[in-house]
Amino acid sequence: MRGSMRIGKILGIPIWINYTWFIIFIFIVTTLALYYFPWYYPSSAPGSWSPLTYWGLGVATSLLFFASLIVHELAHSIVCVRNGIPVKSITLFIFGGIARISREATRPTTELAMAAAGPLASVAIAALFGGIWWLTRDTVEPLAAMAYYLALINAILAAFNMIPGYPLDGGRMFRSIMWWKTGNYKKATHIASITGRGIGYLFIVGGIFIMFYFGLWINGLWFAFIGWFLNNAASGGYRQALLREALQGFTARDLMIRDCPTVPPELTLRELVQAHILYTGRLFFLVSDHGRLMGSLTLQSIKAVPQERWDYTTVGQAMTPVKEMKLVHPADEAVSVLERMNEEDIEQLPVVDGERVVGLITRDSLLHFIRIRSELGK
């Protein structure tokens, strides 16, 4: 996911945090420290807590909640790995967490197990914290308060994820059942997507009702926001399923443009602009020295060099070196190429065989390939 930073590895799986996570983290800490804990454990009560206790407990509870989300996603990931599906990463963001897998399940029973693992983990975590609350409720009040909240929020998380709206876990379980009954992955995804969008609309309507009927604007907006997210995620999930199906069985070799002109590193920027950009309209160039890929050059890289230096600045000096480029190989799966372009917001991916450039995949050429297959009824 773009805008994310890596914080470490668990069970060999990279863990990332998206910038949107900090928004929800601050929101949860503030809500707990200023509203939730003071409401249930007021400072005026005997043996009351200090402001530092409220804030410390708010931070600790929030961190443990997000640790619970990681465990939820790890449960999905463990089932994936045991079924031969590599997990590339886990990312925390504003709506929770997401495990990025290299490919979808090939059997409905596998997807059912993968989807069910997360909610089951959340139920187990809720039971664990519920037990801690039971043992400490009359002895260590701050610990009991934190455990009670974590037990409650994980139970809610499990229940919410079981809503049969794709792409929630419940929606994926629903899709796996439809897949098993129809024997058609595409049709099952379509049914699950429609259901997910319907549930998203219900959340939006419910949020509007809460705002105007009860006057609870924050709660209503939050419900409507979740509905909007579910609606868009369901639509995007179905589009992605169609794209994945269209690319299934193909590799980068099938998608790449073989007529891929390169420019030598000794060419000056002035010569490149006059002989190539103005003449052909190309805005992206691969730099090659006798077939060996050296780097790439974009219009933005050229514009970063003052025009008065174009006559003596070479392509080799202005280019992005090959070691900093994103590359794919001819045998790479077409689906993984698409995912990589989407996740890293890449418009072009050079295809290399060893150090030799053999082709180029652009977003336009990839979508053109999918469109042609669709028109041919493939």
| pTM attached to this predicted model | 0.72
373/369 Cα distance (integer angstroms) = 6
Catalytic residue, candidates 73, 104, 111, 339: 73
pLDDT value of position 343: 67
pLDDT value of position 299: 87
Q: Cite the beta strand spans of the chain per DSSP E.
A: 4-10, 13-18, 87-93, 96-101, 262-263, 284-289, 292-298, 320-321, 348-353, 356-362
135/126 Cα distance (integer angstroms) = 14
pLDDT value of position 100: 81
pLDDT in tens, the chain (378 residues): 557 888 889 888 989 898 888 888 998 999 999 989 998 888 666 557 888 999 999 999 999 999 999 999 999 999 999 998 888 888 888 767 888 887 778 899 999 999 999 999 999 999 999 999 999 998 899 999 999 999 999 999 999 889 888 878 999 999 999 999 999 888 898 899 899 899 999 999 999 999 998 888 878 888 898 889 888 888 877 777 777 777 878 899 988 888 777 889 999 999 999 888 887 778 888 898 887 889 999 888 899 999 999 999 999 999 999 888 888 999 988 888 887 787 677 888 889 888 888 888 888 888 888 878 777 765
Name the H helices within 138-213: 141-161, 169-182, 185-209
User: Do 16 and 7 form a contact (C-beta atoms < 8 A)?
Assistant: yes
pLDDT value of position 109: 93
Q: Check if 73 is active-site.
A: yes
Q: Can you tell me whether residue 101 is helix, strand or coil?
A: strand
101/69 Cα distance (integer angstroms) = 17
User: Do 317 and 269 form a contact (C-beta atoms < 8 A)?
Assistant: no
What is the C-alpha R_g of the chain?
26
